[in-house]
């Protein structure tokens, strides 16, 4: 091949809509959704996927991922997904949720779906803030972090400490797979993709509930540039929320 010839080595996933993103510049949601589109496409799950996304920044997933979606009230995606699972046992059921949704308003729903071992795969995008509704503090906001509802920084007394939801869920026997990744750099994105694939396979193999938390950046909600938000993610967020595999019960019973 001559120096002037070009060849395609990577293409837009077929399940990712060919359109401009509605997310803010530098937002991590777009990266996560591309990974989901890649995995669902490679596993040939597009035609049988029914995804659920609630109110919040997750709402744009309806337009970006070319699979069937059902809208849920804020925090109620696991409950809606459970209903879908019961009436469509052959479907691949996915929830796409943010931290204000899964870790606050929907805490009860996610815990009890996990306790029941529902065959649902949850993608939990944690950017530590209520992005769509004005940048308020979320359960995963770091201590000292400024938000519109904690302008002087989050304090432990009165607002508590950051909640590690995936560690909490990983203890539940009904959880077949639980992991935490990030979008901080290319290597981390590759590992996160692997976690998403394993979580999807857990559902396909009938192992039970699976969840992948993805630590993502919210430049606007954090009041930072996209580049600086990635530095904050690396230096401040990852030490508070260690990445890696948290539970894997997908193997044969021991």
Instruction: Write out pLDDT tens, residues 186-227.
Output: 999 999 999 999 999 999 999 999 999 999 999 999 999 999
In a domain, 104, yes or no: yes
Rounded to whole angstroms, what are the CA distances from 254 to 85, 247, 249, 250, 251?
A: 27, 15, 10, 11, 8
Between CA 232 and CA 237 the distance in angstroms is 7
Residue 11 falls inside a structural domain: no
Q: Is 134 part of any domain?
A: yes
- The CA distance from 178 to 85, in Å, is 20
Whether 3 maps to a domain, the answer reads no
User: In this predicted model, what pLDDT tens digit does every residue of 127-181 receive, in sequence order?
Assistant: 999 987 777 889 999 999 998 888 988 999 999 999 999 999 999 999 999 999 9
The total number of structural domains in the chain stands at: 1
Phi and psi for 173 in degrees, rounded to 5? -55, -30
Domain assignment present for 229? yes
Residue 23: inside a domain: no
- Lowest mean pLDDT across 43-47, 58-62, 101-105, 198-202: 58-62
Phi, psi (degrees; rounded to nearest 5) at 60 = -70, -15
Q: Which of 9-13, 44-48, 90-94, 165-169 has the lowest mean pLDDT?
A: 9-13
Q: What is the pLDDT of residues 156-171, one digit of tens each?
A: 999 999 999 999 999 9
What is the span of the domain harbouring residue 35?
Answer: 29-247
**In a domain? residue 166:** yes
Measuring CA to CA, how many Å separate 23 from each of 12, 26, 31?
Answer: 18, 8, 11
d(CA 53, CA 63): 11
Residues 123, 59: Cα–Cα separation, whole Å: 13
Residue 243 maps to a domain: yes
The predicted model gives 73-102 an average pLDDT of: 95
- Residue 175 to residue 207: CA distance in whole angstroms: 8
pLDDT at 1: 53
Mean pLDDT, rounded, for 55-62: 87
% of the chain surpassing 70 pLDDT: 98
Pairing of strands 244-248, 175-182: antiparallel
Average pLDDT over residues 112-140: 92
Q: Which two tokens stand for residue 31?
A: 């990266």
Query: What is the pLDDT confidence band of residue 3, given thresholds at 50, 70 and 90?
Result: low
Contacting residues for 248 by C-beta, under 8 A, at least 6 apart: 176, 177, 178, 198
Residue 64: which CATH number?
3.40.50.970
At residue 57, the pLDDT reads 86
234: Cβ contacts below 8 Å, ≥ 6 apart: 184, 185
- Kindly report the number of other CB atoms within 10 A of residue 197's CB atom: 17
Residue 2 — pLDDT band, cuts 50, 70, 90?
low
Burial annotation 48-73 (CB, 10 A radius, 16+ → b, else e): ebbbbbbbbbbbbbbebbbbebbebe
């Amino acid at each position: 091949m001559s120096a002037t010839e070009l060849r395609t080595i990577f293409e837009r996933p077929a399940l990712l809509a060919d359109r401009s993103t509605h997310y803010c510049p530098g937002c991590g949601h777009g990266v996560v959704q591309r990974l989901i589109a890649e995995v669902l496409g490679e596993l040939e799950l597009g035609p049988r996927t029914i995804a659920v996304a609630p109110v919040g920044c997750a709402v744009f997933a309806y337009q970006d991922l070319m699979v069937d979606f059902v809208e849920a009230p804020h925090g109620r995606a696991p409950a809606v997904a459970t209903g879908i699972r019961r009436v469509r046992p052959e479907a691949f059921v996915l929830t796409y949720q943010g931290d204000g949704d899964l870790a606050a308003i929907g805490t009860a729903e996610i815990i009890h779906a996990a306790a029941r071992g529902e065959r649902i795969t949850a993608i939990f995008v944690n950017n530590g803030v209520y992005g769509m509704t004005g940048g308020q503090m979320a359960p995963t906001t770091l201590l000292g972090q400024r938000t519109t509802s904690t302008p002087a920084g989050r304090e432990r007394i009165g607002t508590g400490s950051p909640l590690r939801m995936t560690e909490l869920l990983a203890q539940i026997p009904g959880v077949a797979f639980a992991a935490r990744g990030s979008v901080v750099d290319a290597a981390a994105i590759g590992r996160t993709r692997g976690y998403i694939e394993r979580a999807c396979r857990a559902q396909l193999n009938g192992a039970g509930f699976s969840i992948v938390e993805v630590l993502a950046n919210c430049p606007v909600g954090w009041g930072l540039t996209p580049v600086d938000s990635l530095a904050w993610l690396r230096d401040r967020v990852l030490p508070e929320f260690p990445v890696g595999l948290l539970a894997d019960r997908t193997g044969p019973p021991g």
